[in-house]
Amino acid sequence: MLKSIFCLSTFLCVVTLPAFANLTEQDLTAISVIVNKATRPIQTDIARIHGKLESVDKQFESVDKQITHATNVTYGLIALIVVAVGVPPAIIAWRVRKDGASNEQIAALIKAQEKQTAAPTQEIKHSHRKLKHSQEK
């Protein structure tokens, strides 16, 4: 069985070898017309697809612009949040430092005033004791 298949395939190959043909100008023209007719629908399909791709490309550009806009708005909101959260504590810290310096100055003035009033107060207390002591005698 294998021998017969091999012989048949060899015979078919040998029979087809001498089949050579020369194409004439009319044959080439006819082939060209057939190919052009066959490719016209394909070319119109390609043109239609190209138009659709341009439309899709415009839609992608529109979406890209929207995403860019949303991203910029998000960055702006993040900056606003950072400012809203960061500035008040900075102002409070600056006021605390400023008030701390003022409080130190006030404390120093109070101490100086206490020293100035301490001597007369002591004299008054001492005089009052003497007076009281002299009245008791």
The per-residue pLDDT for 63 is 93
List the end-to-end C-alpha distance of the chain, in Å, as a whole number: 160
pLDDT digits (tens, 9 = 90+) for 112-129: 887 777 666 667 776 767
Q: How many domains does one find in the chain?
A: 1
- Per-run averaged pLDDT (10 residues), the chain, 137 residues: 83 68 82 88 89 91 95 96 89 80 79 75 69 65
Residue 5 maps to a domain: no
| Residue 95 located in a structural domain | yes
Torsion angle in degrees (nearest 10) through CA of 113, 115, 118, 123: -120
Q: What range defines the domain where residue 67 resides?
A: 27-136
- Please give the model's pTM, rounded to 2 decimal places: 0.42
